Amino acid sequence: MKLSVVVPCYNEEGNVPLFYQATVDALGELMRDTELIFINDGSKDGTLAALTNVVDKSPYDVKVINFSRNFGKEAALLAGLRKSAGEYTVIIDADMQQRPEYIVDMYKILEEQPEYDVVAAYQGARKEGKVLSFLKNTFYKVINALTDVEFVQSASDFRMFRRVVVDAMLSLTERCRFTKGIFAWVGFNTYYMPYKVEARATGKSNWNFFKLLKYAMDGIMAFSVKPLLIVSVLGIILFLTSIICTIYVVIKTLIFGDPVAGFPTLACLILMLSGIQLLSIGILGQYLAKNYTETKARPLYVVKNILGSEEKHEE
Ligand code: UDP
Ligand code: MG
């Protein structure tokens, strides 16, 4: 098997047939040596029916991993990577924002340039709001400052890997999987290939602001413990400041007497300090929560069944 194509699908009934046809057209002869692995991530629409239809009609090697419910894209990717057997594995969205034609370009790069192990597509100009791009810029600055691995901005998770990279990624057993971080963490020589993000063919994106914020926080916490260090240092600084203040107040009272004043200052200080305390406890709690998830060691997804030619014979 030369190539595995891993496609996470959540409510993509309209896109599945388009995606399949576009991939077959783009890959041409290469399709004979390719396996398509779709993951139906608990879709609530007709995605499963569309995928079953593809499996039934396709002359090629198509498999569908059918989850018991929605477990999220990260879990879907993990299931797909575990199943993949190709010499090269590519991850691509089902929504046609990433054109399957690029798979051929990625394939050529890995074939012709042995020094590269990963091809990552990155977006050139992307049409998005000023606020969103500001938030994204900030996120990358923060995460790069806080972690030891390098996160490349606007590099998508549309990527092709050699086998050794896939094996390396699968060797990370953590539950809180932040794929972008895992790509960066495993290292390897990465070729950055510019590409154009298309509009979604049908359906709508599953992201909203709060999901993005949670994703960003998960990412930072999965790859850095520096926030804990920062709050500790903040605690030390505040403690030292309070000693200096106390000495100042005592001396001032001894010399000038004690006129009652400074209630607003007091109120502000209490607010500020309790705010910082709550923030610190919050950060601590987040790490504890992650630890809780890791120790429970639940599987990241549950597979209901697998459709596809090979499995029919195996089981
Ligand atoms: N996806 C998934 N599970 C989810 C959410 C999304 O498998 O819970 C899939 C989705 O079907 C698509 C890909 O992940 O193929 C990217 O999702 P989306 O288009 O919503 O994200 P965006 O392109 O906006 O980053
Ligand atoms: Mg999309």
* pLDDT tens digit sequence for 113-165: 999 999 999 887 666 678 878 888 888 888 888 888 888 877 888 999 999 99
Domains and CATH numbers, the chain: 3-223+298-307 (3.90.550.10)
Per-residue model confidence as pLDDT tens digits over 248-280: 878 888 888 766 677 777 877 887 888 788 888
The least confident of 134-138, 297-301, 309-313 is 309-313
**Ligand lying nearest the CA atom of residue 73:** 1
**pTM (two decimals):** 0.79
Average pLDDT of the chain to the nearest whole number? 86
The residue whose CA is least distant from atom 16 of ligand 1 is: 93
Ligand 1 near 14 CB (within 6 A): no
* C-alpha span between 311 and 206 (Å, rounded): 31
- Tell me, what amino acid is at 191? Y
The residue whose CA is least distant from atom 2 of ligand 1 is: 73
* C-alpha span between 143 and 99 (Å, rounded): 29
* C-alpha span between 70 and 54 (Å, rounded): 21
Percent of the chain predicted with pLDDT > 90: 35
From the CA atom positions of the chain, what is the Rg in Å? 25
Ligand 1 near 53 CB (within 6 A): no
Ligand 1 near 12 CB (within 6 A): yes
**Distance of CA 17 from the midpoint of ligand 1 (Å):** 16
The residue whose CA is least distant from atom 19 of ligand 1 is: 205
At residue 260, the pLDDT reads 67
* C-alpha span between 298 and 280 (Å, rounded): 28
Cβ(123)–Cβ(197) under 8 Å?
Answer: yes
Residue 17 has pLDDT above 50, yes or no: yes
**Ligand lying nearest the CA atom of residue 157:** 1
Atom of ligand 1 nearest to the CA of 39: 7
- Give the DSSP H or E segment for 240: helix 226-256
The least confident of 33-47, 151-165, 300-314 is 300-314
| Choice between 187 and 125, residue whose per-residue pLDDT is larger | 187
Tokens of 267: 């109120």
Cα dihedral sign for 97, 100, 105, 108?
A: positive
Residue 59 has pLDDT above 90, yes or no: no
Tokens of 83: 């199943």
**Ligand lying nearest the CA atom of residue 204:** 1
Ligand 1 near 13 CB (within 6 A): no
Ligand 1 near 95 CB (within 6 A): yes
**Distance of CA 154 from the midpoint of ligand 2 (Å):** 14
Mutual angle of helices 163-170 and 179-186, in 10-degree steps? 120
Ligand 1 near 70 CB (within 6 A): yes
Ligand 1 near 61 CB (within 6 A): no
